[in-house]
Amino acid sequence: MKLKNTTLFRGIALVLILTLCFTLFTACGDEDYTAEEVDTELLTTLYEINKSAVFNAADSSDVANYIYEWGLLNDNFKVSHDSWDNVIISTVATDEGREACDSVILHCTLDLSAPDRTAQAMTAIMYVLQYSENHGFIRALFTEPEYGLEKVKESYLKADNFITLDSAKNNTVITTAAARHDYSVTKEIAYQEATYTNAFEITIMGLNGTHAGKTNQLNAVKTLGKMLAELKSTGALIEIVSLCSGYMDENGEFAPDLAPGTGFPRGAQAIVLVNDNDVNKLTKKVTKSQTKTIDKYLKTNPDIVYNFNEIDREAYPMVISSDDTSAIISFIYTSLYGIYDKDDEGEPIAVNNITYCSTTGGSFEIDLTAISLSESKMETLDKTVSTLCGLYDLNHTKYEIADFWEMTLPDTDDAAGEDGAPNYRVYPLVDNICNAAYNIYEKDTQFGSSFENVSLTKVTKRIPDANIIAYGVTDKNIERQTAVILTFCEQI
């Protein structure tokens, strides 16, 4: 699918090619790294344009088309755009002296669920492609978020050095990436005639759609499910018409089948019926939940809306059967959510979330995700989901989205640093990045883990001996971290 404003973006790309130019010179394989400078104005201009392209895109194919058009405007680039919406841009060594230098792949996933990170990574790669004029062979991979790295030609994944910028940590080399399992839980539901006399619509909207394992985040499905379960525990008699995740569409209707593709729900809605004698209980429970939710989450979700409205009872002649209502509410109440476990330093090592919920079309479907830096914890999470599904007579299918990944150190004395800590710098790729970063930051690079970097496992599944690292670009330090990548490419 072409960009809605293809001509506009082609014009923007042409302006970038014509106006943002300068020359950098270094030598291949210098033992002493010299920090390469990034032009702040040029980088800022490129970043702002890239952010506009990402945030205004309907899907990743729009961004892929934008990058493809940008690449075609430079005669020094070899550009291709495959049927999976992967864009590959290559540029050969700048002169004969650089042909012997290591080849480099710079990678970015065009993930619209993380638009800031995507725009930052795009900017760093595009800047290096255009303004590094003293480099060896460089290939840039911009891949579709779901299947891109699985479908791009295998030959495009091979290089001496592979650096994915799918990370959002400042000056940090990712050495461990979490496994991720998704679960699709389903149940055919029965309906019965509605008997209660009052109908209410409870809607939470405007969430940022971020992961529940992060500090101070909200999951609307869990919030409504928990509230309804607590209401039932008080003895209130309720009937459920529907319980769905999603968002308000352009007509002001809640659209459960059009939930944004962020992986995390931005809203949820429940339509419930109660008798006259339970209206007060429902009102008090929802009001308490409204106050608690808004007070706790308004700062991190400034667009949050939590509505409670009485609606036309006659519009809902049928409700979900009482048995299925109990199973649905109980499952949501007991399902795993948020931080499951932490390490000794208090950092999360296993998190969970509810990503989708729907009771439309005669079936209940709820999607869950579990992400863990511990293989044993992931096994526990798998068993927990299976047990809960069995308890409430639900079917489930597990999808192994990403395997646990760890940078495995060689069995040598050099692999153990001070106090037995891992010495990742035994790898030339890591050492070169650290050297480049030190000249920019004047401090050591950190080594860390990532919950959401599936690119590492997808690449190594296809290329087991890939010399790969993840190094992030962040909004705060996009200039310095772009300079690190530029310095690396010019001095390896």
Tell me the per-residue pLDDT of 247-258, one tens digit each, with 9 for 90 and over: 877 777 788 776
Q: What is the torsion angle, in degrees rounded to the nearest 10, for the CA atoms of residue 187, residue 400, residue 104 and residue 140?
A: -10
**Across residues 372-390, what is the average pLDDT?**
92
What's residue 14's pLDDT?
53
Q: Are 487 and 440 in contact (CB under 8 A)?
A: yes
Residues 145 and 163: their CA atoms lie apart, in Å, by 17
Distinct helix (H) and strand (E) counts, the chain: 12, 22
Residues 180 and 451: their CA atoms lie apart, in Å, by 8
Structure tokens at 124: 């760093």
Ordered by start, the domain boundaries in the chain are 6-178+406-491, 181-402
Task: Please state the separation of Cα 364 from the chain's center in Å.
Answer: 26
Helix, strand, coil fractions of the chain, as percent rounded to 5:
40, 25, 35
Looking at domain 6-178+406-491, its CATH class is alpha beta
- CATH topology identical between 6-178+406-491 and 181-402: no
What's residue 216's pLDDT?
59
Confidence of residue 299 (pLDDT cuts 50, 70, 90): confident
Task: Please state the separation of Cα 483 from the chain's center in Å.
Answer: 25
Structure tokens at 75: 């005669």
Q: What is the torsion angle, in degrees rounded to the nearest 10, for the CA atoms of residue 419, residue 456, residue 347 and residue 302?
A: 150
Q: Is the pLDDT of residue 106 over 50?
A: yes
- Please count the other Cβ atoms lying within 10 Å of the Cβ belonging to residue 21: 12
What's residue 17's pLDDT?
47
Give the up-direction half-sphere exposure of residue 285: CA atoms within 13 A in the CB hemisphere.
22
What's residue 268's pLDDT?
93
- H or E stretch at 476: none
What's residue 24's pLDDT?
34
Residues 87 and 140: their CA atoms lie apart, in Å, by 8
pLDDT in tens, 312-353: 999 999 999 999 999 999 999 999 888 888 888 777 888 888
What's residue 165's pLDDT?
93
Structure tokens at 413: 């004395």
Average pLDDT, the chain: 85
Q: Is the pLDDT of residue 77 over 70?
A: yes
Looking at domain 181-402, its CATH class is alpha beta
- Nearest CA-CA partner of 490 in 170, 93, 78: 93
Q: Are 471 and 172 in contact (CB under 8 A)?
A: yes
Q: What is the torsion angle, in degrees rounded to the nearest 10, for the CA atoms of residue 314, residue 319, residue 322 and residue 323?
A: 180
pLDDT in tens, 189-241: 999 999 999 999 999 998 876 666 655 578 899 999 999 999 998 888 999 99
What's residue 27's pLDDT?
47
